[in-house]
Structure 1
Amino acid sequence: MQLSFVFLKLPSQFSGFPNLRNLYIQVVQASRKDLEHVLSHCCKLEWLRIDRCNLNDELTVDGLLPHLLYLYVEHCKLTRIKFHAVNLATFKYEGEFIPIDLSYSSKLQNAYFRLNEAVFRKVLISLLKGLPNVQCLTLRIGWQHLEKQWLWDNPLKFHHLRHLQLFMFSHFEHVDKILYLISFLRATPFIEKLEVHYTGFALWLADVGPRRQDFGQCKYLYLKDMWITGFKAARGQLEFLLHVVENAPALEAITVDTKQRHCTDFSPYIDRQGNSSIV
């Protein structure tokens, strides 16, 4: 079922859609209470997309959604998202950075985030708390803020994360902070596949930033495959590459490409031949 460009106000005796399996909500004006009530009473829902619905409030769906497998939230004015969907397999989010709680989703396979602007460290901490069970993670931030002297000392880890895909848009003021991505890797002790896709002409031969020796060692014992694109021989890129190689004893394959891959060139978890593993 698709609801588009409507004003939603529920009658007092509304009992939901108990047999609904697919729901697409697009530009729907509704109160937080009514929208949460509708979603909480779709107990057989398997597929849900919410597009440009501006609550200017949080969206907390406490009703159990044991059949929900796919959830996509895009460009909604929300302050927080929380779903109780234990079998959720795929989650996609596009918009402003907000806290997202999917901690009940113990079978979360794929999570894809495209954020307009955010502080990288805050995003990492929020994801660790809200998506502790994610197995494959794609993260793009249009205007990302990397911080100097950001060293990882948080006990939280992605214990289930196996595949990490990062899209790094490096502006002039952040070229000297590329190596601080190491702090993200320290939160992924069981990672097997790493992709870092750089974008930014300021990266060309940029001889600025710290050395890998300033960060110490951190072993990535399960990492087997690393793919880097947009490599422009910036110090941060080279030091990051060497750090990973020196600390990944099981590494089997490394691909380094100078071609710059823009965000529009990729779907989540696309392979080197341009084929996507997610439909």
Structure 2
Amino acid sequence: MQNIWRHVCYFLPLKDAARATCVSRAFRSSWRCHPNLTFSKRKITGDYNSRIDHFLANHSGTGVKTLSLLFYGPYSANTSYCLDGWLQIAVAPGIEELSLTLFSDSDQLLDKAKYNFPCSLLSDGRGNSIRELKLVGCAFRPTVGIGCTRSLTNLSLCFVHITGDELGFLLSKSLALERLDLNSCSEIASLKIPSLLQRLSYLKVSQCSMLQVIESKAPNISSFHFVGDQQVQLFLGESSQVKEIFISHSCALHYARAMLPSTTPNLETLDIFSTGEMVSTPMLPSKFLHLKTITISGWIFSTTYNLFSLVSFLDASPCLETFNLHTRIGSQNHDLIFEDPSHLGRIPGHCYDNLRRVKITRFFSTKLLVELTCHILENAPSLECLTLDITDGGLKCSDKRIRKCYMSKATLVEAPKALEAIQTHIAGKVLSTTKLNILEPCSRCNAINI
């Protein structure tokens, strides 16, 4: 009978399982073995932490599979002792998922570590069963005594104080790792991923301010994401199997065009968010031989940037099927299109035989953008759909998720000019086999905003 109660308790949410303890002694015993412990609350209340203490004090620690804990300040001399005690109860052999998120008194993630995660909890067999480990806002110092993390498949560290050497030691013991996500880990200067990580397929590194080098020898990474304020030296191995890349930093376009064809020869999807291009994208002989989708966005244009130079990515991608461009054009680049269309001469280029879909968001009536669009139309015989969005590209009232469309004043002023440029210089070049979609600001929200 006891096993039946435990089985019923297993499927109850934590709150309902705790309430069930009032029914009978049998339920009380079953509650003490509830496998999934999740403690979270958006609004800080005085008794939130004391409730966690009460729940865990009445839990046996036996059979815990998942612990997800959001801890709120204020922090005091007893904070570490309190957290250590809770983790000591819940982190036992058999636990599979562990998530610890620390907030400051102002309900913000901690960027200064006030708590040292007790790595000793992962020793003596306790860490052997953990598949997912997520730490936010603490210090994590894995050393020789950390024990084995042989089952770890997903590691996520955010605002965590850990050095590159300490992380490297942890990785060397995590041979089953499949996903690694590092966000705002400010002590890592060099990230080295050993070849032993045969199963690692996903790598994401964001806003690690001191990072200078990423060197991976893991042979099977297929998806790589990098976001930073600075460029880093990137070594993914000559036989890289990377098929998807998202990259965001200053001069990301120049970096991607110059470096990625040789370092990621099997790339199929490329997503670039540039925070500022100092020079135009170079025309180079290197190719993206397997690239099928390119998405370019961000604040990429300086006073000297030639928007038409984006054709370099098209020329380098013989298998390209989808090209997405989300423009951000400042007034210094807003060279308005002139009335005489004869000045838009044909520009010799490659034939984009496989290009099927093109979308340009925040389409402006700038000469270089019109020239780029016309160039694509004239060299993409198989183009099925051309979408020119003269809005800001955000949610629209027609999506029924918002009341009215958001549109900046600059976009509203520019929209009629962009529409005229499309009708005058582009629409006549669209083949009968190509569908032209023009997305305009809706009249209802236009009237409200104006």
TM-score interval for Structure 1 and Structure 2 normalised by the shorter chain: 0.7 to 0.9
Q: Deviations 1:234-275 (Å, cap 9, x if unpaired)?
A: 11101101111111122111111111237xx9xxxxxx9xxx
Residues 113-162 of structure 1 deviation map (CA, whole Å, 9 limit, x = unaligned): 222x2263233212223322221111011222233xx65233x2111110
Query: 2:290, 2:319 within 8 Å by CA — same for their partners in 1?
Result: yes
Task: Give the equivalent residue in structure 2 for 1:268.
Answer: none
1:244 and 2:373 correspond: no
Question: Cα offset for 1:45?
Answer: 0.9
Do the aligned partners of residues 63 and 167 (structure 1) sit closer, same or farther apart at CA in structure 2, a change above 3 Å counting? same
Residues in 1 aligned to 2:252 and 2:180: alpha-carbon distance in whole angstroms: 28
Q: Using a 3 Å threshold, how does the CA distance of structure 1 residues 11 and 217 change in structure 2: closer, same or farther?
A: closer
Higher relative contact order (CA 8 A, sep 6+): 1
Alpha carbons 1:67, 1:87 under 8 Å: kept: yes
Distance 2:274 2:173 in 1: 34
Return the offset for 1:68: 2.0
> Which of residues 336, 341, 348 is equivalent to 1:206?
336
Between 33-42 and 156-165, the greater mean CA deviation after superposition: 33-42
Pairing 1:68-217 to 2, within 5 Å after superposition: 68-76=200-208, 77-95=210-228, 96-103=230-237, 104-106=239-241, 108-115=242-249, 117-118=250-251, 120-147=253-280, 151-154=282-285, 156-169=286-299, 171=301, 173-174=303-304, 177-202=306-331, 204=334, 206-207=336-337, 216-217=348-349
Partners in 1 of 2:336 and 2:171 — Cα distance? Answer: 50
Give me the CA root mean square deviation: 2.8
Deviation of residue 165 (structure 1)?
0.4
Aligned residue type for 2:167: L
Largest Rg, 1 or 2: 2
Match for 1:59 among 186, 191, 195? 191
Q: Which deviations, in whole Å up to 9, do the C-alpha atoms of 1:178-233 show, x marking residues without a partner?
A: 1111122222121111111112342555359xx88696321212111111111112
Of residues 197-206 and 216-225 in structure 1, the stretch that sits farther from structure 2 once superposed is: 197-206
Report the Cα distance in structure 2 between the residues aligned to 1:169 and 1:242, rounded to whole angstroms: 23
User: Is the Cα contact below 8 Å between 2:252 and 2:272 reproduced in 1?
Assistant: no
Distance 1:170 1:49 in 2: 26
8 Å Cα contact 1:100-1:127 kept in structure 2: no
Q: Distance in 2 between matches of 1:146 and 1:171?
A: 9
1:214/1:29 Cα in 2 relative to 1: closer, same or farther (>3 Å)? farther
**C-alpha distance in 2, partners of 1:257/1:34?**
48
CA distance in 1, matches of 2:168, 2:160: 13
In 1, Cα distance between the equivalents of 2:301 and 2:275? 10
More strand by share: 1
Matched position secondary structure for 1:50: strand
**What are structure 1's unaligned runs of at least 5 residues?**
266-271, 273-279
The answer (yes or no) to whether the contact 1:39–1:61 under 8 Å persists in 2 is yes
The answer to whether the 8 Å contact 1:199/1:261 transfers is no
Contact 2:274–2:300 (CA<8 Å) still a contact in 1? no
Q: In 2, Cα distance between the equivalents of 1:199 and 1:257?
A: 13
1:99 to 1:188, Cα distance in 2 relative to 1, 3 A:
farther
Task: Name which of 169, 172, 176 aligns with 1:40.
Answer: 172
Match of 1:269 in 2: none
* Distance in 1, Cα, partners of 2:204 & 2:318: 28
**Contact 1:99-1:126 at 8 Å conserved across structures:** no
CA distance in 2, matches of 1:7, 1:118: 32
- Counterparts in 2 of 1:94 and 1:170: CA distance versus 1, 3 Å: closer
The aligned amino acid for 1:167 is: S
Unaligned ranges ≥5, structure 2? 1-132, 395-405, 407-436, 438-450
Q: Displacement, 1:51?
A: 1.1
Mapped to 1, the partners of 2:181 and 2:211 lie a distance apart of 15
Matches of 2:345 and 2:188 in 1, distance apart? 45
Partner of 1:276: none
CA distance in 1, matches of 2:391, 2:319: 28
Q: 1:224 aligns with which of 356, 371, 385?
A: 356
Q: What secondary structure does 1:100 align onto?
A: strand
Amino-acid identity (%): 23
Instruction: Give the 3 Å change call, closer, same or farther, for CA 260–49 of structure 1 in structure 2.
Output: same
Query: Which amino acid letter does the alignment assign opposite residue 158 of structure 1?
Result: F
